[in-house]
Amino acid sequence: MSERDLMAGWSVELLHDDFRQCLREATLLYDSETAIQRLRVFRNPTFGRILTLDNVVQVTEGDEFVYHEMMSHVPIFSHGAARSVLIVGGGDGGMAREVLRHKGVERVVMVEIDPGVIEFSKRYLPGIGGGAFDDPRLEVVIADGADYMKADGERFDVIIVDSTDPIGPGVTLFTDSFYGHAKRRLTPEGVLVTQNGVPFMQPGELTNTLRAFKALFRDWGCYLATIPTYVGGPMAMGWGTDGPARDASLETLKTRYAEAGFETRYYTPEVHKAAFALPGYVARLRP
Ligand code: SAM
């Protein structure tokens, strides 16, 4: 049986040189090129509907809650008084959905380079975005996040870079220049968090980001969460701020979480604090 026959009916992720992730395609729902990247949506018996961009898993119905909860609630509960949030990327709507659960957040701007991701996520993955795209607090801007950040404009209490990996259109979101502009677009005690890959598989990506954060922020580092379809171990989320956000005590986080009044499936105040405890192999990636 040829490799092609063997892999028929499977989505094969080629993100890593020596490691492939194969996900059964029980039903292919969409497969086409947008103007920017190849967009596929298929159903897998274990993970539900899955969105891939250029054959790299972006989001699955089954495990997206881990990633979206940890990338949104950790900076927002740490900050304690976030009113404005910028999401770079995030076209599937999951990050906006979680951010908008915070009633104190008055404005969310999503800067997404590919309108096709938004359009097809609304159509094929409506559960990921929930009602986010109908929330009047959300403004969607179709642009390269790097261009948006470079421009003069409003500042944000929290900036979440919910991008693809540093390939294709995502490359511009992993540069020192981008991080420098992001810092300028933060309020004085604002928090920047970034999707920074799986350090066991992409160690250089994390070190490069943290080297830039070390030069930019008083408090810099990363925290971890394990998302099953981001294969290779726990994923790192870059963290940078000049404010006291990370100092929020467990008791303070518990109070803020209780006052927020919503349920989560992965995030808890205890998980929040523990996420910053790094195993040796990750800690040693810090510059
Ligand atoms: N959770 C995923 C992850 O951790 O890899 C990210 C999912 S989200 C769909 C990634 C989004 O980033 C995509 O919609 C993609 O179009 C967008 N994106 C990539 N490069 C971008 C850029 N330079 N500016 C704005 N959005 C970008």
d(CA 61, CA 233): 19
Please choose, from the candidates 187, 124, 121, 127, the residue with its C-alpha nearest in 3D space to the C-alpha of residue 154: 187
Q: Please state at what angle helix 203-216 crosses helix 176-184, rounded to 10 degrees.
A: 40
Residues 108 and 55 grouped into a single domain: no
Q: How many domains does the chain have?
A: 2
Atom in ligand 1 nearest the alpha carbon of residue 117: 14
Do strands 156-162 and 84-89 pair parallel, antiparallel, or not at all (unpaired)?
parallel
* pLDDT value at residue 159: 98
β partners of residue 28: 42
Atom in ligand 1 nearest the alpha carbon of residue 168: 20
Q: Is the CB of 236 under 6 A from ligand 1?
A: no
Q: Is the CB of 96 under 6 A from ligand 1?
A: no
Q: Is the CB of 170 under 6 A from ligand 1?
A: yes
Residues 147 and 163 grouped into a single domain: yes
Of 60, 76, 96, the residue that ends a domain is 60
β partners of residue 59: 51
Sheet containing 27-33: order of strands: 27-33, 38-44, 48-53, 56-60
**257 alpha carbon to ligand 1 midpoint, in Å?**
28
Spot the catalytic one: 63, 92, 157, 162. Answer: 162
Atom in ligand 1 nearest the alpha carbon of residue 92: 9
Q: Where are the beta strands (DSSP E) in the chain?
A: 10-13, 21-24, 27-33, 38-44, 48-53, 56-60, 84-89, 107-112, 138-142, 156-162, 186-195, 219-225, 235-241
Q: Which domain holds residue 16?
A: 3-60
Told to judge if 144 belongs to the known catalytic residues of this protein, a careful annotator would answer: no
Q: Is 125 helix (H, G, I), strand (E, B) or coil?
A: coil
Residue with tokens 């969607």: 140
* pLDDT value at residue 98: 98
Residues 137 and 168 grouped into a single domain: yes
Buried-state track 164-177, b at ≥16 Cβ within 10 A, e below 16: bbbeebbebbbeee
Structure tokens at 95: 């990050």
Residues 35 and 160 grouped into a single domain: no
Structure tokens at 273: 């604090």
Read off the DSSP letter of residue 245: G
* pLDDT value at residue 8: 80
Residues 53 and 184 grouped into a single domain: no
Backbone angles phi, psi at 264, to 5 degrees: -130, 165
Q: Where are the beta strands (DSSP E) in 90-147?
A: 107-112, 138-142
Q: Is the CB of 145 under 6 A from ligand 1?
A: yes
CA distances to 39, 53, 57, 164 from 91, rounded to whole Å, are: 12, 11, 14, 10
Do strands 48-53 and 56-60 pair parallel, antiparallel, or not at all (unpaired)?
antiparallel
* pLDDT value at residue 25: 95
Mean pLDDT by 10 residues, the chain (287 residues): 71 91 95 90 97 94 98 98 98 98 98 96 95 97 98 97 92 96 98 97 96 98 98 97 97 98 98 98 97
**37 alpha carbon to ligand 1 midpoint, in Å?**
11
Cβ contact 95:72 at 8 Å: yes
Q: Is the CB of 162 under 6 A from ligand 1?
A: yes
d(CA 18, CA 27): 27
Residues 191 and 269 grouped into a single domain: yes
Residues 276 and 211 grouped into a single domain: yes
Atom in ligand 1 nearest the alpha carbon of residue 59: 1
Residues 191 and 276 grouped into a single domain: yes
CATH number of the domain encompassing residue 36 = 2.30.140.10
Residues 200 and 111 grouped into a single domain: yes
Residues 33 and 175 grouped into a single domain: no
Would you tell me how many other CB atoms lie within 10 Å of the CB of residue 229? 21
**91 alpha carbon to ligand 1 midpoint, in Å?**
7
Ligand 1: which of 163, 174, 224 to mutate, most ligand atoms within 8 Å of CB? 163
* pLDDT value at residue 144: 97
Atom in ligand 1 nearest the alpha carbon of residue 169: 20
Residue type, 27: T
Q: Is the CB of 98 under 6 A from ligand 1?
A: no
Q: Is the CB of 173 under 6 A from ligand 1?
A: yes
Q: Is the CB of 89 under 6 A from ligand 1?
A: yes
CATH number of the domain encompassing residue 252 = 3.40.50.150
